[in-house]
Structure 1
Amino acid sequence: MGRIAVIGAGMGSLATAARLAVQGHRVAVFERAETYGGAVGAFRRDGFAFDTGPALLHLPAVYRDLFVKTGKRPLEECVELVQVDPASRHLFPDGTDLALPNASRAGVISALDAAFGAGVGERWGDFLGRARVVWERTRRPLLEDTLREDTAPLGRDPYPALKRGLLRRAPATVAAVGERELRHPGLTALLSECVLSYGLDPRQAPPSAAVLPYMEQTFGSWYVRGGLRALADAVYERCEERGVEFRFGAEVTGVVEEDGRATGVELADGTRQEADVVVRGAPGEPLPGDLGRFVVLLALRGARPADAAHRTVVHGTDAPHDGSPDGPAPTVRVLRPDDDRLVPDAGHEAAVLSVTVPPQGAVDWRAPGYADAFADRVVAVAGAAIPGLAERLLWREVRTPADTERETGAPGGAVPAPALAGADGAWLRTANRGVPRGLYLVGGSAHPGGGLAHAGMSGAMVADLVAGGPGGSR
């Protein structure tokens, strides 16, 4: 039985800690903040509750596996999972109103045909068929196995693009895939928004990012009653059940190294904690293309209409928005959970608006009045999804990448995106086995990248590596 020091209490760290504790190790988690969950946070005021990070769960099988492997109670006994249907509603500038069913390819094709015209849905279905090739070629090396030393195969883009034109060159970005293959503004907007929602600029992300809408529409979108913070609560409780020790308000300033091996951690108060293995789950340096989230939390008077969609996208620009007042309208995601745990009573509603934006530094979100002015614009756009929004608004809370940086320690408040193949490996994350020996890396800054499911997978990979295995998450 070894001593394990885990730096950070984000979801990847929690998943690792629970698995290592089951292996019989003595696990201690050191977290600079006063709570766990990392980016999976919550804001509460006046009886309202809001998710401040991820709000939907994709690939819930990752957390089902975690709970099966670490205790007797399965995931569904610890949290209440609800399949979101429709998966999303989309409002376009030309007035088109489109609702896409959850995890139904035939249903999606029918909805697209009805909204955009016969044959358009089939074009999207053919695109998802090519995206499935990306899933099949990268599922194991990107999601099920730790990153190998030879990453050259992952530097080649696996998307089987349709090559058009005289030179028949493959598109360089996923935005170029949309323009060339989808050939419809509504379809290209759907693709771009999905990629943006993962914190990627479609004008920079490689064609392999086509796997993201494939995953969502194939495996579905799920909500956790009480908000995604309830999932963090459940994983934390599982860690405590397994005997994991937590020390909050304990900032780690360095990894202690002796003879080329990690032997513990040094804390901000000058003390050292010895360990046989160190797992680093704290945020690392972002990739150049990592983006942030601008979030507006709305407390609304009046009940949520029964027919309101859980997630509505009001489409604007297909690119990250810098908050400038004279730029194009932003694309705003509007989340309206049907969840009485989030409101003080049935006569109120809690809604979350989010926009993908550059991180702090690329834009000064702390500049006086800048964030509030952009929030005004975001709320105005969201009015298309929430009729009477201005009259219903009780109060709002604005959160920028600068707030994310302060609360989680992520540089610039950047939100790591999932690892992607192609672009000569530019979108791969740091390997799970670190330097010196005995140091392992987990969470969004490490392989396989950001997102709730990916954090859970990285936890499984690291636990397997510590046990002497090959680093598989299966």
Structure 2
Amino acid sequence: MTSEQMGRARAGAREVVVIGAGIGGLATAALLAREGHRVTLLEKRDEVGGRAGSWEQDGFRFDTGPSWYLMPEVIDHFFRLMGTSASQQLDLRKLDPGYRVVFEDGLDTVDVPADREAVTKLFESMEAGAGEQLSRYLDSAEDAYEMAKKRFLYSTFQSFTPFLRADVLRRLPRIGSLLLQSLHSFVAKRFRDPRIRQILGYPAVFLGSSPFDAPSMYHLMSHLDLDDGVLYPMGGFTTLIGAMRSVAVEAGVEIRNGADVVGIDTDARTPGRSPLDRRTATVRGVRYRTADQESSVPADLVISAADLHHTETTLLPGDLQTYPEKYWQKRVPGPSALLLYLGVQGALPQLEHHTLLFTTDWRENFGRIFGKESSVPSPASLYVCRPSATDPSVAPEGHENVFVLVPIPADVGIGRGGLERGGDARVEALADEVIGQISAWAGIPDLAERIVVRRSYGPQDFAEDLNAWRGTSLGPAHILRQSAFFRGSNRSAKVENLLYAGSSTVPGIGIPMCLISAELIVKRLRGDVSTGPLPEPVRE
């Protein structure tokens, strides 16, 4: 323990319980242990990682969730806060091309290169003048991204005073414009070619939204893949989870797997003098169930990195819920997903490490997923990951590892998946259709016959395994009224010393956002209302 940690521990170490060992929970537990607190991390599954899990079968090793390594500086920052670095923990490779896009019926295929100059030339070849327009677009994206990191992503929004800075005030008209128009409109004003519009609009899906609904502020996402490029950790994303677990345990975190939390226990509390202090209870501990018994662990501080809807509506009584069921009735979920884990015999050069398949009727595709009368798109825009293109360790020799993600409505009624066609009939029928689509569009006529391992995963699985609200694969969608300070607080308004981390709360969806959510817990406990990241410790 460093002298700084020892000082904090002496000043008031707490008994901390963190619920959920996904990215947000692991990071929160690790950072709080490094602060000098005694931390117990409870996870209902047998392994840590949450959505970023791992599954093995017959020599194939699949990442079960996230597969795009973006915002590398945020991931590195977490490790540096823990006294190490991403380069020490991971073997990162830059992908070139960053990804491939296959347009409907295989009529056109575009490989998106790994550096800005090459992307600019590509866009110019697709539309006269688009290269120069892209340069301006990416300059704007970089400015928006840097401003977001400096003033918004690392803010708990406890105070708005830090926003009254010259750099923010100077940009207010532009910020307002970016918030009040959709990403699709923003892109469409600058590019005519539908392929370019789709390439620049699709990152909205990473935010659990549609390009027709996501604010154009999120054009900053294009800076991440077109300027910075896409990385891959050799061994898969399980190596990131393993590294996070290691630094957490090294910092003193006790991880209890197979511990399904069933309730947050509280004591009555006299509300504070401030009319804004509505907290009538304080945390006392957490109850959890294992295979053979129910246990409890005392706590001075509880951080739930589990799904916020589950935490609020299941783990707390009605009178202590900050976000009760009526709140969620007005929220918009991100999409759910049909996931496929396929072990394929033989090579698949038709697919890159990352391949996107885009339908021609873009608006209709997203309308089916996010519309009031939702349904599964057919054909669907979808994503295919072939990590064996880069990493031979994820598949047996002479085979390919293929992960497929199809955004579909957040509807648990679609069903659950299973191994070797063991899922619900509707899910398996969708899986067959998707495999046929990839086969036809990418020019792999014998794809179905070459599959030797097949597992499907549906909305009901997300709900059962991850307690995901409405079976969403990501969390609440990043539309305007669910972004930044509109997304909700990471502190309970009813229960003292109950805080929230993970994709359901600020700043939002994705591995980097979940890491930042953990840092926001530390900032709140320190009373730090600054808008930037925590200073990294000096390394000897």
Distance 2:484 2:212 in 1: 14
Query: Number of paired residues?
Result: 459
Report the 3-state secondary structure (helix = DSSP H, G, I; strand = E; otherwise coil) of the residue aligned with 2:190: helix
The equivalent position to 1:274 in structure 2, one of 278, 291, 298, is 298
The equivalent position to 1:23 in structure 2, one of 35, 41, 58, is 35
Q: Is the 8 A contact 1:420 1:427 kept in 2?
A: no
Report Cα offsets for 1:142-181 as digits up to 9, x if no partner.
3222233559999x8955759xxxxxxx964222323333
Report the 3-state secondary structure (helix = DSSP H, G, I; strand = E; otherwise coil) of the residue aligned with 1:299: strand
Report the 3-state secondary structure (helix = DSSP H, G, I; strand = E; otherwise coil) of the residue aligned with 2:405: strand
| Partner of residue 239, structure 1 | 248
Letter in 2 for 1:377: E
Structural mapping, 1:32-47, within 5 Å? 32-47=44-59
The equivalent position to 2:523 in structure 1, one of 459, 464, 469, is 464
The reply on whether 1:364 has 2:414 as its aligned counterpart is yes
| Partner of residue 78, structure 1 | 89
| Partner of residue 342, structure 1 | 394
| Partner of residue 401, structure 1 | 459
Q: Is the 8 A contact 1:293 1:415 kept in 2?
A: yes
Report the CA distance between 1:334 and its aligned residue. Answer: 1.5
Change (3 A) 1:89 1:48: same
RMSD over aligned Cα, in angstroms?
Answer: 2.9
| Partner of residue 455, structure 1 | 514
Structure 1 unaligned runs (5+)?
A: 163-169
Structure 2 unaligned runs (5+)?
A: 1-12, 270-280, 310-327, 417-422, 535-540
Distance 2:519 2:513 in 1: 10
The reply on whether 1:204 has 2:213 as its aligned counterpart is yes
Structural mapping, 1:62-461, within 5 Å? 62-71=74-83, 73-93=84-104, 95-102=107-114, 104-114=115-125, 116-148=126-158, 159=175, 172-258=181-267, 259=269, 260-268=281-289, 271-285=295-309, 287-305=331-349, 309-316=352-359, 317-318=361-362, 319-320=365-366, 328-337=378-387, 338-344=390-396, 346-361=397-412, 364-366=414-416, 368-383=424-439, 384-385=441-442, 387-388=444-445, 389-416=447-474, 422-423=480-481, 428-435=486-493, 436-461=495-520
Report the CA distance between 1:385 and its aligned residue. Answer: 3.1
Farther off after superposition, 262-271 or 236-245: 262-271
Q: Is the 8 A contact 1:31 1:247 kept in 2?
A: yes
Report the CA distance between 1:129 and its aligned residue. Answer: 3.2
Report the 3-state secondary structure (helix = DSSP H, G, I; strand = E; otherwise coil) of the residue aligned with 2:496: coil
Letter in 2 for 1:333: Y
Distance 1:412 1:249 in 2: 23
Report Cα offsets for 1:182-233 as digits up to 9, x if no partner.
2221122112322124321222222222222233223321111121122111
Distance 1:211 1:424 in 2: 17
Distance 2:448 2:438 in 1: 10
Change (3 A) 1:409 1:220: same
Distance 1:368 1:98 in 2: 35
Q: Percentage identity across aligned positions? A: 28
TM-score w.r.t. length of structure 1 = 0.88
TM-score w.r.t. length of structure 2 = 0.77
Q: Is the 8 A contact 1:30 1:246 kept in 2?
A: yes
| Partner of residue 321, structure 2 | none
Q: Is the 8 A contact 1:16 1:460 kept in 2?
A: yes
Report the CA distance between 1:466 and its aligned residue. Answer: 2.5
Report the 3-state secondary structure (helix = DSSP H, G, I; strand = E; otherwise coil) of the residue aligned with 2:123: helix
Q: Is the 8 A contact 2:70 2:231 kept in 1?
A: yes
Letter in 2 for 1:236: R
Letter in 1 for 2:381: T
Change (3 A) 1:417 1:123: farther
Instruction: Say which structure is richer in helix.
Output: 2
Distance 1:261 1:371 in 2: 43
Q: Is the 8 A contact 1:418 1:451 kept in 2?
A: no
Q: Is the 8 A contact 1:157 1:422 kept in 2?
A: no
Report the 3-state secondary structure (helix = DSSP H, G, I; strand = E; otherwise coil) of the residue aligned with 2:414: coil
Report the CA distance between 1:421 and its aligned residue. Answer: 7.9
Change (3 A) 1:457 1:196: same
Distance 2:134 2:176 in 1: 15
Report Cα offsets for 1:13-63 as digits up to 9, x if no partner.
111111111121110011122221111012211111111110121112222
Q: Is the 8 A contact 1:43 1:50 kept in 2?
A: yes
